[in-house]
Amino acid sequence: MTTYILKRFLQVIPVFLGATLLVYFLVFSLPGDPIAALFGDRPVNEAVAAQLRKQYNLDQPFWIQYLLYLKSIFTFDLGLDFSGRPIAAVLGEVFPVTARLAVMALIFEGFFGILFGLIAGLRKGKIFDATVLVASLIVIGIPIFVLGFVLQFFIGVQLGWAKPTVSAGASVQDLILPAIVLGLGSFAYVLRLTRTSVLENMNADYVRTATAKGLSRSRVVRVHILRNSLIPVITFLGADLGALMGGAIVTEGIFNIPGVGQRLYRAVLSGEGPTVVSIVTVLVLIYVVSNLLVDLLYAWLDPRIRYDS
Amino acid sequence: MRFTRTSKALGMAAIAALALTGCGAGGGSNDGASGGDTNRVIIVDGSEPQRPLMPADTNEVGGGKIIDMVFAGLVSYDPSGKPVNEMAESIEAPDGQNYTIKIKSGEKFTNGEAITAKTFVDAWNFGAAAKNAQLSSSFFESIKGYDEVNAEGSTADTMSGLKVVDDTTFTVELGQPESDWPLRLGYSAFAPVPAGALADPKGFGETPVGNGPYKLADGGWQHNVQIQLVPNPDYDGPRKPKNGGVTFKIFQNDDTAYQDLLSNSLDVLQTIPTSALANFESDLGDRTINKPYAGNQTIAIPEYLPEWSGEAGKLRRQAISMAINRDEITKVIFNGARQPAKDFTAPVLDGYSDSIPGHENLEFNETKAKDLWKQADAIQKWDANSTFSIAYNADKGGHQAWVEAVVNQIKNTLGIKAEGKPYPTFKEARNDATAGTLTGSIRAGWQADYPSLYNFLGPIYKTGAGSNDARYANPAFDEAISKGLGASSVSEGNQAMNKAQETLLTDLPAIPLWYQVSQGGWSDNVTNVDYGWNGVPLYYQITGK
């Protein structure tokens, strides 16, 4: 097991180098001069622009810029963004906020998705099943920003049950509505995935055996049906954590959450290479780690899966 | 088993939290109940400053608003845009070129450091020197010696035009006479900064210390979240705060801010988002404002394009201008959030006139437009396959709707091909504009940095000027402008500027479309909201209800 985990962590190194190189190159190739854009509508003051390019290494060719950036990573000093702040500090501000939001969304979609999916599967064809299926179709069909604005308007503005935007500190309480909006789409998928999986397992031999053994209904459902049905759902949830963090930009925009998506969007628009690459790299690492966790969970859920050769 | 139990617990937490939101809501604001509350902390919308908060390094609105409140320069502008002395005792120059500036004695920064003539001279020298890479350094360009300190790679750091006479007096020698120079002294780049700022501008920019009506609260700048300002008790100028502080809540988009305004979580929203323009007056009742400010929108047509050069080009530009129905677009597309342009400046400025000879070129006139186009065709035939394009940036500003409307009017009136040409980002559009590689016209706009007619004309239309996207060059205009700058008073200068505009209205290097209007709104909790000449709310006047 340890060897396996170690191997997986070694794989992170090429992924990390590849991702930083690719993203750095993409930002480098963006059209337009980021320093000129700092001057806005006003004429560019060449003397000042030259000084700024030097400060941000923008006067160097691509490879030198990239190597300088790599060097800054290994010395744990990511350099400064355009507002003169250490990029490391910026990361420290935005990631906790988005992580809180994404984990809340994950808990929401995981818990309710599995619960509703299980009930729907167990009562196939009944009214609950039908209602939930139609509702999930609607949720999947409506784009997230529509859901966001509608919920924000009715729950936040009309009913006043929650604040329409997140206030300073982005507390758990403020993030509930955004987390539901963010998790709604995946919630519908989790629900449908669980339902299908439960239906399949209900007809499996071991379930029939367990029932024939005289085990209680609840034990059959919990240990034999649910646990075995969770494998595809866990795969989905694991991959979704990364997607939620990177994809929270729309939700963050609607509820004015100062998270990863907003900062990344601003950095892309202003062409701040190091900021973009730093944020994306952390996102990539989160993907890699969450996928590793999913693989380890498999072994726990299904003892037939073993990672040691 | 374990798995189930954990999820149950998590679910409980989620439900408990949901219940909390239900209870916690609705109890937001009881403090606005009493009348004329000068202790209320006003919550307004803002955006994250792009650069450290140094006066000479801040050239965009997000940081600019903060700088204006935290610092006080020699003068500040009253609501109508007239400069009034703030730190200055007097600013005098009989010849318009050699200024003697006396400052009030006994003024201090909030850290206790005294403000003397040397403070100003040091701050200006620092702002102008290229080696300090301050974005607004061009504001010092009129001062003698600027060219030396602002040359690329220059290590010089003092301008020869600035001299300290005594603690409260310094002199400024300009490179040439400029009658409107004192008007620009209220711009934030000219604010004084404490000595510490010059030694460590980045560190200072995080926690600026100023002399303005407000100061930054302890830890008041939470990046991307909010900026909290509290009144500066020692401030004694024309902008004395009438509230208990101002908190700028940072929003990524105006639509979100509008929802906050509707639920009274936000007190003042500077700009109503386009999506709410149709219904904000019914949503907010009389808690709205509709006031022009010193900004306009134009379409610049580069004269380096063969079909737009010479006499034929001029006639064509006049035809295009007359083919645009400004009244209709300002009503239908903007719901009155713009006013049709009558000149190249803005109506809130001192010296503005809506009846400069040539202003009729900015009025919709279908028959005359067709006629002018025909005259141009007689000189140089318009290629029926070529398209008149208006370039705009699609990332912000919501330009697409009006560009399409203008394009359609031109198509319908003149019967030529026309289209909008979106650039993905502002940065890319500016690249082509400054490099002189445009293939058609481009939307241009100007928002004044200081309330002066010259600011709308010189930097954009003078031969070789930095923002001259059209590459317009007309010696007659240049001469009229320098005559205005050499005038002995601001009002005499204004007359000369309007004379220069007559040339522009005939040549139309850019086609003025409309003036910007601020449309803002406020919540039930505040009152006394008014906007300044530049479209920014006068935050210091706002009180609780």
Per residue in A146-178, pLDDT (tens digit) is 988 899 988 888 888 888 888 877 888 889 999
Report the 10 Å Cβ neighbour count for B281: 18
Residue B434 Cα distances to A89, B191, B429, B471, angstroms: 35, 29, 9, 10
CA-based R_g, chain B, Å: 26
Task: Render pLDDT for B397-430 as a digit per residue (tens, 0 to 9).
Answer: 779 999 999 999 999 999 999 999 999 877 788 8
Contacts of A222 by beta carbon, 8 Å cutoff, 6+ apart:
B1, B4
Secondary structure class of B218 (helix, strand, coil) = strand
Q: What is the pLDDT of residue A308?
A: 63
Chain centroid, CA A37 distance in Å: 31
B window 226-285, beta carbon within 8 A of A: 226, 249-253, 255-257, 259-260, 262-263, 265
Secondary structure class of B247 (helix, strand, coil) = strand
Residue extents of the structural domains in chain B: 12-234+519-544, 293-518
With CB atoms and an 8 Å threshold, state whether A36 touches B434: yes
With CB atoms and an 8 Å threshold, state whether B425 touches A32: yes
B window 401-430, beta carbon within 8 A of A: 424-428, 430
Contacts of B6 in chain A (CB under 8 A): none
CB B16 within 8 A of CB B240: no
CA distance B193 to B211: 8
Residues of chain B with pLDDT under 70: 1-35
Residues in chain A: 309
Secondary structure class of B50 (helix, strand, coil) = coil
Q: Following DSSP, what letter does each residue of B265-321 receive, concatenated?
A: S-SEESS--GGGTTTHHHHHTT-EEEEEEEEEEEEE--TTSGGGSHHHHHHHHHHHH
> What value does the mean pLDDT take over residues A4-20?
85
Q: Per DSSP, what are the bridge partners of residue B421?
A: B391
The torsion angles phi and psi of B288, rounded to 5 degrees, stand at -135, 165
With CB atoms and an 8 Å threshold, state whether A82 touches B4: no
Which of B529, B463, B532, B451 shows the shortest CA–CA distance to B183? B451
Compare CB distances from B52 to A42, A83, A263 and report the shortest one's residue: A83
pLDDT over 50 at A187, yes or no:
yes
Q: Does B89 touch chain A (CB under 8 A)?
A: no
What predicted TM-score, i.e. pTM, was given to this entire model? 0.83
Q: What is the pLDDT of residue A284?
A: 86
**Mutation choice for B interface testing from A42, A52, A107, A154 by most B CBs within 10 A:** A42
Q: What is the pLDDT of residue B441?
A: 94
CA distance A165 to B257: 8
**Which residue on chain A is closest to B62 by alpha carbon?**
A83
Q: What is the pLDDT of residue B427?
A: 75
Contacts of B17 by beta carbon, 8 Å cutoff, 6+ apart:
A172, A173, A176
A window 41-100, beta carbon within 8 A of B: 41-48, 50-52, 55, 80, 82-85, 90, 93-94
Compare CB distances from B434 to A44, A115, A256 and report the shortest one's residue: A44
pLDDT over 90 at A29, yes or no:
no
The interface predicted TM-score (ipTM) is 0.84
**Amino acid letter, residue B152:** E
CATH fit for domain B12-234+519-544, picks 2.40.50.180, 3.90.76.10, 2.160.20.70, 3.40.50.720: 3.90.76.10
**Which residue on chain A is closest to B12 by alpha carbon?**
A111
Q: How far is B134 from chain A (nearest CA, A)?
A: 7
Q: How far is B466 from chain A (nearest CA, A)?
A: 5
Q: What is the pLDDT of residue A84?
A: 81
User: What DSSP element (H or E) covers A23?
Assistant: helix A2-29
CB B88 within 8 A of CB B172: no
Do B12-234+519-544 and B293-518 fold alike per CATH?
no
**Amino acid letter, residue A20:** T
With CB atoms and an 8 Å threshold, state whether A107 touches B14: yes
- In CATH terms, the fold of domain B293-518 is Dipeptide-binding Protein; domain 3 (3.10.105)
Compare CB distances from A84 to B153, B202, B255 and report the shortest one's residue: B202
Q: What is the pLDDT of residue B301?
A: 95
pLDDT over 60 at A140, yes or no:
yes
With CB atoms and an 8 Å threshold, state whether B428 touches A31: yes
Q: What is the pLDDT of residue B485?
A: 86
Tell me which of A276 and A247 has the higher pLDDT: A276
Contacts of B226 in chain A (CB under 8 A): 168
Q: Provide the mean pLDDT of chain A.
A: 87
Task: Render pLDDT for A80-120 as a digit per residue (tens, 0 to 9).
Answer: 888 888 898 899 989 999 999 999 999 999 999 999 999 99
**C-alpha neighbours within 13 Å on the C-beta side of residue B108:** 8
User: What DSSP element (H or E) covers A108?
Assistant: helix A87-122
* Least reliable range by pLDDT among A61-70, A239-248, B453-462: A239-248
With CB atoms and an 8 Å threshold, state whether A39 touches B18: no
**Which residue on chain A is closest to B51 by alpha carbon?**
A83
Contacts of A134 by beta carbon, 8 Å cutoff, 6+ apart:
none
With cut-offs at 50, 70 and 90, classify the pLDDT of residue A135. Answer: very high
CB B187 within 8 A of CB B139: yes
CA distance A110 to A230: 10
**C-alpha neighbours within 13 Å on the C-beta side of residue A109:** 30
Q: What is the pLDDT of residue B14?
A: 41
Q: How far is B418 from chain A (nearest CA, A)?
A: 25
